[in-house]
Structure 1
């Protein structure tokens, strides 16, 4: 239990709640700490959102499968991030996409009644909660639009542009496998490989298993 409280002290949203209060909430059952193993499903599509979940450690992703059967990673969440913050108060409080733990993850669950009590009794918590939900609702909405409306080529180009600026080089070192990159972009691995091959044939890029080199034709276009 001690390690859980150490993790909680690092999270802005929880800092306004006294440790002894959290301890009493855990004892009575209005709060709960749940562990998920790597690739465990946290929520299925259509599942009711009935509690606020604060990630203490680990990594959680929101995924969807498109009409072609491709797995698309919409968003990633880490320690300090919140699940269900805006959804649980919706008229349709159902998870629209699958939520999966991509590595061993610890989550603090707060049930709805306890959450309402915190809102009314702890104004600092309420302020932090509203700030978080407001900021991240806009970000997530933009991200979903970004992925849903783009072609495979546009998604690849967007990723390469971002990594080119981030790494400050036209030779992009891949920090993930082609399979993981395909999931990030939201296509099948074969579709990604086919599109990369087309871009190579058009003189835009060169690539191997660990890097992608952006050629002059690509750089001049973008």
Structure 2
């Protein structure tokens, strides 16, 4: 009986969800500016052991932080405005956050998919918001024929309220698109794509008709 209980407890411990660790860029000043557009800059950094780089966007979004956060947080609406998002499905949750399946349809290459654990941290009084994500493919749908499964996709949004009413934003991501895409092309796509994401989020946050619809 004691042996049976021990085995049962061991099984339950094995099944227990792994506590999520807060995902954020590693400390250090090794970032290199890749491009700049007005108040917004994209930075890249080498990752030891791989040819794929981290990328980071530091930007000022012309919208209040509450509206930017709401835009980012309403993830099921992403197919309506986010570039290349083909499908989004919340497939579950645990004590850490939501499990969300994504399928993207980038130009010229096969579709990609992945399931992420997404965790939100909010401090409305201070006007500070943080969201991070990390892969949890084992807790999402099985791989699909013709769709490349991403195994690396860590990232975060950090938002804070500015005195001028706009939003200070940092978007960081480390991802490998997989498949046969060479590293140099993946790095270029990751860098250029950040401005597209920024523009999409800003336009959505500024959309007064969408704001009114959400308040009805």
- Could you state the TM-score of these two structures normalised by the residue count of structure 2? 0.25
Give the number of the structure whose residues are more often strand, by fraction.
2
Give the number of the structure whose residues are more often helix, by fraction.
1
